[in-house]
A and B are shown apart, each in its own frame.
Chain A
Amino acid sequence: MTALVHETDPVEGYLAALAAAVHGPAKARTRMLAEIRDGLEDAVSAQGSIPRHHAAARALRGFGTVEEVAASCQLELTIAQTRHTSRALALTVPFLLACWYLIRTAGPSGDGQVPRVAQLVAAHLTGAATIAAVLAAAALAATGTLARWLPTPPGLPRVVAWTSTSTGAAMAVATIALLAASPSSANWPLVVLAGLFTAVSHAMVAGSARACRECARLTC
Protein backbone atom coordinates (compact mmCIF):
# COMPACT_ATOMS: atom_id res chain seq x y z
CA MET A 1 0.00 0.00 0.00
CA THR A 2 2.81 2.40 1.00
CA ALA A 3 4.73 1.52 -2.15
CA LEU A 4 1.62 2.26 -4.17
CA VAL A 5 1.29 5.73 -2.60
CA HIS A 6 4.99 6.45 -3.36
CA GLU A 7 4.55 5.39 -6.97
CA THR A 8 1.63 7.76 -7.43
CA ASP A 9 2.87 10.71 -5.36
CA PRO A 10 6.48 11.90 -5.74
CA VAL A 11 6.19 14.07 -2.61
CA GLU A 12 5.34 11.06 -0.43
CA GLY A 13 8.18 9.09 -2.01
CA TYR A 14 10.62 11.94 -1.34
CA LEU A 15 9.48 12.32 2.27
CA ALA A 16 9.72 8.57 2.90
CA ALA A 17 13.27 8.50 1.54
CA LEU A 18 14.20 11.53 3.65
CA ALA A 19 12.63 10.03 6.79
CA ALA A 20 14.61 6.84 6.26
CA ALA A 21 17.86 8.79 5.87
CA VAL A 22 17.78 11.00 8.97
CA HIS A 23 18.14 10.02 12.63
CA GLY A 24 17.80 12.00 15.81
CA PRO A 25 15.58 12.65 18.81
CA ALA A 26 11.98 11.70 17.93
CA LYS A 27 10.50 15.11 18.70
CA ALA A 28 13.07 17.13 16.73
CA ARG A 29 12.99 14.67 13.81
CA THR A 30 9.18 14.64 13.62
CA ARG A 31 9.05 18.42 13.74
CA MET A 32 11.66 18.84 11.02
CA LEU A 33 9.95 16.33 8.72
CA ALA A 34 6.55 17.97 9.35
CA GLU A 35 7.97 21.38 8.40
CA ILE A 36 9.54 19.97 5.26
CA ARG A 37 6.24 18.31 4.33
CA ASP A 38 4.45 21.67 4.77
CA GLY A 39 7.10 23.43 2.69
CA LEU A 40 6.82 20.87 -0.09
CA GLU A 41 3.03 21.10 -0.11
CA ASP A 42 3.34 24.91 -0.35
CA ALA A 43 5.80 24.54 -3.21
CA VAL A 44 3.43 22.17 -5.02
CA SER A 45 0.50 24.59 -4.55
CA ALA A 46 2.64 27.45 -5.88
CA GLN A 47 3.02 25.64 -9.24
CA GLY A 48 -0.51 26.70 -10.20
CA SER A 49 -3.29 24.64 -11.68
CA ILE A 50 -1.30 21.87 -13.34
CA PRO A 51 -1.76 18.18 -12.51
CA ARG A 52 -0.42 17.32 -9.04
CA HIS A 53 2.11 14.82 -10.40
CA HIS A 54 3.75 17.49 -12.61
CA ALA A 55 3.50 20.15 -9.91
CA ALA A 56 5.16 17.80 -7.41
CA ALA A 57 7.96 16.98 -9.84
CA ARG A 58 8.63 20.69 -10.41
CA ALA A 59 8.52 21.49 -6.70
CA LEU A 60 10.98 18.68 -5.94
CA ARG A 61 13.44 19.93 -8.57
CA GLY A 62 13.96 23.16 -6.64
CA PHE A 63 13.90 21.50 -3.24
CA GLY A 64 17.26 19.75 -3.40
CA THR A 65 18.07 16.06 -3.65
CA VAL A 66 17.24 13.73 -0.77
CA GLU A 67 20.99 13.33 -0.09
CA GLU A 68 21.54 17.09 -0.03
CA VAL A 69 18.60 17.86 2.26
CA ALA A 70 19.25 14.81 4.47
CA ALA A 71 22.85 15.96 5.04
CA SER A 72 21.67 19.43 6.17
CA CYS A 73 18.95 17.97 8.39
CA GLN A 74 21.30 15.39 9.89
CA LEU A 75 23.80 18.05 10.96
CA GLU A 76 21.12 19.76 13.01
CA LEU A 77 19.59 16.51 14.27
CA THR A 78 23.02 15.30 15.42
CA ILE A 79 23.40 18.47 17.48
CA ALA A 80 19.87 17.94 18.84
CA GLN A 81 20.79 14.36 19.81
CA THR A 82 24.05 15.55 21.38
CA ARG A 83 22.08 18.00 23.52
CA HIS A 84 19.51 15.30 24.36
CA THR A 85 22.23 12.89 25.51
CA SER A 86 24.05 15.64 27.40
CA ARG A 87 20.82 16.50 29.21
CA ALA A 88 20.30 12.83 30.15
CA LEU A 89 23.82 12.76 31.62
CA ALA A 90 23.48 16.11 33.35
CA LEU A 91 20.17 15.05 34.95
CA THR A 92 21.01 11.52 36.07
CA VAL A 93 24.59 11.90 37.24
CA PRO A 94 23.92 14.33 40.15
CA PHE A 95 21.22 11.96 41.50
CA LEU A 96 23.60 9.04 41.22
CA LEU A 97 26.31 10.96 43.04
CA ALA A 98 23.82 11.69 45.81
CA CYS A 99 22.88 7.97 46.01
CA TRP A 100 26.48 6.85 46.17
CA TYR A 101 27.27 9.46 48.78
CA LEU A 102 24.38 8.16 50.89
CA ILE A 103 25.74 4.62 50.64
CA ARG A 104 29.20 5.78 51.70
CA THR A 105 27.84 7.61 54.73
CA ALA A 106 24.91 5.34 55.51
CA GLY A 107 26.32 4.22 58.81
CA PRO A 108 27.35 0.91 60.27
CA SER A 109 26.20 -2.41 58.88
CA GLY A 110 26.59 -5.85 60.44
CA ASP A 111 30.40 -5.65 60.43
CA GLY A 112 30.49 -1.96 61.23
CA GLN A 113 30.64 -0.71 57.62
CA VAL A 114 28.63 -0.66 54.40
CA PRO A 115 30.20 -3.46 52.30
CA ARG A 116 33.62 -2.45 51.09
CA VAL A 117 32.88 -3.42 47.50
CA ALA A 118 29.96 -0.97 47.40
CA GLN A 119 32.18 1.78 48.82
CA LEU A 120 34.93 1.10 46.30
CA VAL A 121 32.50 1.08 43.40
CA ALA A 122 30.96 4.31 44.64
CA ALA A 123 34.36 6.00 45.02
CA HIS A 124 35.61 5.06 41.55
CA LEU A 125 32.40 5.82 39.74
CA THR A 126 31.98 9.16 41.46
CA GLY A 127 35.10 10.46 39.68
CA ALA A 128 34.02 9.17 36.27
CA ALA A 129 30.47 10.42 36.68
CA THR A 130 31.65 13.89 37.75
CA ILE A 131 33.81 14.18 34.64
CA ALA A 132 30.85 13.05 32.48
CA ALA A 133 28.52 15.59 34.10
CA VAL A 134 30.99 18.44 33.57
CA LEU A 135 31.45 17.44 29.92
CA ALA A 136 27.67 17.23 29.46
CA ALA A 137 27.22 20.75 30.87
CA ALA A 138 30.01 22.05 28.61
CA ALA A 139 28.42 20.36 25.57
CA LEU A 140 25.05 21.96 26.34
CA ALA A 141 26.70 25.37 26.59
CA ALA A 142 28.78 24.87 23.43
CA THR A 143 25.75 23.89 21.33
CA GLY A 144 23.44 26.52 22.79
CA THR A 145 23.72 30.29 22.75
CA LEU A 146 27.51 30.08 23.10
CA ALA A 147 27.57 28.76 19.52
CA ARG A 148 26.69 32.29 18.33
CA TRP A 149 30.26 33.32 19.06
CA LEU A 150 32.23 30.08 19.12
CA PRO A 151 31.99 27.42 16.42
CA THR A 152 30.85 24.05 17.76
CA PRO A 153 33.75 21.58 17.58
CA PRO A 154 32.88 19.05 14.87
CA GLY A 155 34.02 16.15 17.07
CA LEU A 156 31.78 17.12 20.00
CA PRO A 157 28.89 14.70 19.17
CA ARG A 158 31.37 11.80 19.02
CA VAL A 159 32.96 12.81 22.35
CA VAL A 160 29.54 13.05 24.03
CA ALA A 161 28.48 9.73 22.44
CA TRP A 162 31.48 7.82 23.79
CA THR A 163 31.48 9.56 27.17
CA SER A 164 27.84 8.66 27.67
CA THR A 165 28.53 5.11 26.45
CA SER A 166 31.28 4.77 29.07
CA THR A 167 29.08 6.29 31.75
CA GLY A 168 26.25 3.92 30.81
CA ALA A 169 28.62 0.96 31.10
CA ALA A 170 29.85 2.25 34.48
CA MET A 171 26.25 2.48 35.63
CA ALA A 172 25.66 -1.15 34.62
CA VAL A 173 28.72 -2.24 36.61
CA ALA A 174 27.54 -0.16 39.57
CA THR A 175 24.10 -1.77 39.42
CA ILE A 176 25.55 -5.28 39.56
CA ALA A 177 27.99 -4.36 42.34
CA LEU A 178 25.34 -2.66 44.45
CA LEU A 179 22.82 -5.48 44.09
CA ALA A 180 25.51 -8.09 44.82
CA ALA A 181 26.62 -6.18 47.90
CA SER A 182 23.14 -5.56 49.27
CA PRO A 183 22.61 -8.91 51.13
CA SER A 184 25.64 -8.29 53.36
CA SER A 185 24.63 -4.73 54.18
CA ALA A 186 22.64 -3.73 57.24
CA ASN A 187 21.30 -0.89 55.10
CA TRP A 188 20.31 -3.24 52.32
CA PRO A 189 17.10 -1.36 51.37
CA LEU A 190 19.17 1.75 50.67
CA VAL A 191 21.75 -0.19 48.68
CA VAL A 192 19.03 -1.97 46.66
CA LEU A 193 17.27 1.34 46.01
CA ALA A 194 20.51 2.89 44.81
CA GLY A 195 21.10 -0.15 42.61
CA LEU A 196 17.66 0.11 41.05
CA PHE A 197 18.07 3.83 40.48
CA THR A 198 21.44 3.18 38.86
CA ALA A 199 19.78 0.57 36.60
CA VAL A 200 17.12 3.07 35.48
CA SER A 201 19.82 5.69 34.83
CA HIS A 202 21.80 3.13 32.84
CA ALA A 203 18.76 2.43 30.65
CA MET A 204 18.23 6.16 30.01
CA VAL A 205 21.85 7.01 29.31
CA ALA A 206 22.74 3.87 27.32
CA GLY A 207 19.75 4.29 24.97
CA SER A 208 20.56 7.94 24.33
CA ALA A 209 24.27 7.14 23.92
CA ARG A 210 23.47 4.55 21.24
CA ALA A 211 21.38 7.11 19.32
CA CYS A 212 24.16 9.70 19.69
CA ARG A 213 26.77 7.27 18.31
CA GLU A 214 24.53 6.60 15.30
CA CYS A 215 24.03 10.34 14.64
CA ALA A 216 27.76 11.07 15.05
CA ARG A 217 28.53 8.29 12.56
CA LEU A 218 26.11 9.78 10.01
CA THR A 219 27.66 13.26 10.17
CA CYS A 220 31.28 12.08 9.78
Chain B
Amino acid sequence: MRGHLDGLLLSVLEAGPLHGYAVISTIEERSGGALELPTGTIYPALNRLERLGLLASSWQSVGERRRRCYQLTDAGRRSLDTQRGAWREFTATISAVLNPAPAPRTAR
Protein backbone atom coordinates (compact mmCIF):
# COMPACT_ATOMS: atom_id res chain seq x y z
CA MET B 1 0.00 0.00 0.00
CA ARG B 2 2.75 2.43 1.05
CA GLY B 3 4.59 1.84 -2.21
CA HIS B 4 1.51 2.99 -4.14
CA LEU B 5 0.60 5.99 -2.00
CA ASP B 6 2.28 8.50 -4.34
CA GLY B 7 0.34 7.16 -7.33
CA LEU B 8 -2.95 7.28 -5.43
CA LEU B 9 -2.38 10.87 -4.31
CA LEU B 10 -1.38 11.99 -7.80
CA SER B 11 -4.36 10.26 -9.39
CA VAL B 12 -6.99 11.92 -7.17
CA LEU B 13 -5.45 15.31 -7.95
CA GLU B 14 -5.58 14.70 -11.69
CA ALA B 15 -9.05 16.22 -12.03
CA GLY B 16 -8.17 19.46 -10.25
CA PRO B 17 -6.88 21.06 -7.05
CA LEU B 18 -8.00 19.62 -3.70
CA HIS B 19 -7.16 20.27 -0.07
CA GLY B 20 -5.79 17.51 2.18
CA TYR B 21 -9.04 16.23 3.64
CA ALA B 22 -10.71 16.17 0.21
CA VAL B 23 -7.80 14.08 -1.09
CA ILE B 24 -8.36 11.56 1.71
CA SER B 25 -12.13 11.50 1.19
CA THR B 26 -11.72 10.96 -2.55
CA ILE B 27 -9.37 8.00 -2.04
CA GLU B 28 -11.81 6.40 0.40
CA GLU B 29 -14.75 7.10 -1.89
CA ARG B 30 -13.06 5.70 -5.01
CA SER B 31 -11.99 2.57 -3.15
CA GLY B 32 -15.49 2.05 -1.80
CA GLY B 33 -14.11 2.42 1.72
CA ALA B 34 -11.67 -0.48 1.23
CA LEU B 35 -8.62 1.78 1.56
CA GLU B 36 -8.60 3.35 4.98
CA LEU B 37 -5.34 5.22 5.41
CA PRO B 38 -4.24 6.76 8.71
CA THR B 39 -5.28 10.18 7.44
CA GLY B 40 -2.68 12.09 9.44
CA THR B 41 0.13 10.54 7.38
CA ILE B 42 -1.27 11.99 4.13
CA TYR B 43 -0.14 15.53 4.94
CA PRO B 44 3.61 14.82 5.11
CA ALA B 45 3.21 12.71 1.94
CA LEU B 46 1.65 15.70 0.13
CA ASN B 47 4.48 17.91 1.40
CA ARG B 48 7.04 15.40 0.06
CA LEU B 49 5.41 15.31 -3.40
CA GLU B 50 5.50 19.10 -3.44
CA ARG B 51 9.20 19.08 -2.53
CA LEU B 52 9.82 16.72 -5.46
CA GLY B 53 8.08 19.18 -7.77
CA LEU B 54 5.21 16.77 -8.56
CA LEU B 55 2.62 18.98 -6.82
CA ALA B 56 2.21 22.70 -6.32
CA SER B 57 0.22 24.20 -3.46
CA SER B 58 -1.32 27.47 -2.38
CA TRP B 59 -3.66 28.73 0.35
CA GLN B 60 -7.20 29.10 -0.96
CA SER B 61 -10.51 30.01 0.60
CA VAL B 62 -12.74 26.93 0.67
CA GLY B 63 -16.09 27.71 2.24
CA GLU B 64 -15.46 29.78 5.35
CA ARG B 65 -11.91 28.58 5.91
CA ARG B 66 -8.55 28.98 4.22
CA ARG B 67 -6.98 25.69 3.27
CA ARG B 68 -3.82 24.50 1.57
CA CYS B 69 -4.84 23.20 -1.87
CA TYR B 70 -2.65 20.95 -4.00
CA GLN B 71 -2.55 20.51 -7.74
CA LEU B 72 -0.54 18.44 -10.20
CA THR B 73 2.42 19.99 -11.97
CA ASP B 74 3.48 18.91 -15.46
CA ALA B 75 6.11 16.69 -13.86
CA GLY B 76 3.36 15.26 -11.63
CA ARG B 77 1.27 14.35 -14.68
CA ARG B 78 4.23 12.64 -16.31
CA SER B 79 4.98 10.75 -13.10
CA LEU B 80 1.33 9.64 -12.88
CA ASP B 81 1.45 8.34 -16.47
CA THR B 82 4.62 6.41 -15.69
CA GLN B 83 3.11 4.92 -12.52
CA ARG B 84 -0.07 3.92 -14.34
CA GLY B 85 1.98 2.19 -17.06
CA ALA B 86 4.06 0.33 -14.47
CA TRP B 87 0.93 -0.72 -12.58
CA ARG B 88 -0.77 -2.07 -15.76
CA GLU B 89 2.37 -4.03 -16.63
CA PHE B 90 2.59 -5.42 -13.09
CA THR B 91 -1.07 -6.49 -12.91
CA ALA B 92 -0.91 -8.01 -16.42
CA THR B 93 2.11 -10.08 -15.43
CA ILE B 94 0.56 -11.31 -12.16
CA SER B 95 -2.73 -11.98 -13.93
CA ALA B 96 -0.99 -14.08 -16.58
CA VAL B 97 0.49 -16.27 -13.85
CA LEU B 98 -2.65 -16.53 -11.71
CA ASN B 99 -5.06 -17.04 -14.61
CA PRO B 100 -3.14 -18.95 -17.30
CA ALA B 101 -4.75 -19.32 -20.69
CA PRO B 102 -6.27 -22.83 -21.09
CA ALA B 103 -3.81 -25.20 -22.76
CA PRO B 104 -4.84 -26.31 -26.29
CA ARG B 105 -6.39 -29.79 -26.37
CA THR B 106 -4.22 -32.39 -28.03
CA ALA B 107 -5.75 -35.09 -30.29
CA ARG B 108 -5.42 -38.62 -28.94
Interface residues of A (CB under 8 A from B): 28, 31-32, 34-36, 38-39, 41-43, 46, 62-65, 68-69, 72-73, 75-77, 79-80, 143-145, 147-148
Residue among B21, B24, B41, B52 making CB contact with A72, cutoff 8 Å = B41
Question: A76's closest neighbor in chain B, by CB?
Answer: B44
Are the CB atoms of A32 and B43 closer together than 8 Å?
yes
Are the CB atoms of A38 and B38 closer together than 8 Å?
no
Residue among B21, B36, B41, B51 making CB contact with A42, cutoff 8 Å = B21
| CA–CA, A143 and B48, complex, Å | 10
Are the CB atoms of A72 and B44 closer together than 8 Å?
yes
Mask of B54-77 contacts with A, CB within 8 angstroms, 1/0: 100000000001011000000100
Interface residues of B (CB under 8 A from A): 19-21, 24-25, 36, 38-48, 51-54, 65, 67-68, 75, 79
Residues of A within 8 A of B40 (CB): 36, 39, 63-64, 68-69, 72
Q: A32-B43, A147-B51, A148-B54 are in contact. List 18 more A-B contacts (CB 8 A).
A: A34-B68, A38-B19, A38-B20, A39-B20, A39-B21, A41-B65, A62-B38, A64-B38, A73-B43, A73-B44, A75-B44, A76-B51, A77-B44, A79-B48, A80-B51, A145-B52, A145-B75, A147-B52
| CA–CA, A68 and B40, complex, Å | 8
Are the CB atoms of B47 and A76 closer together than 8 Å?
yes
| CA–CA, A36 and B11, complex, Å | 21
Question: B76's closest neighbor in chain A, by CB?
Answer: A148
| CA–CA, A39 and B40, complex, Å | 8
Are the CB atoms of A43 and B21 closer together than 8 Å?
yes
- Could you give 26 example pairs across A and B, Cβ below 8 Å? A28-B47, A31-B68, A32-B43, A35-B20, A35-B43, A38-B21, A39-B20, A39-B24, A39-B39, A39-B43, A41-B65, A46-B25, A64-B40, A68-B40, A68-B41, A69-B38, A69-B40, A72-B44, A72-B45, A73-B43, A76-B48, A79-B48, A143-B51, A147-B52, A148-B52, A148-B75
| CA–CA, A168 and B103, complex, Å | 71
Nearest 10 A/B pairs, CB to CB: A64-B38, A69-B40, A42-B21, A64-B40, A76-B44, A72-B41, A72-B44, A63-B40, A145-B53, A39-B21
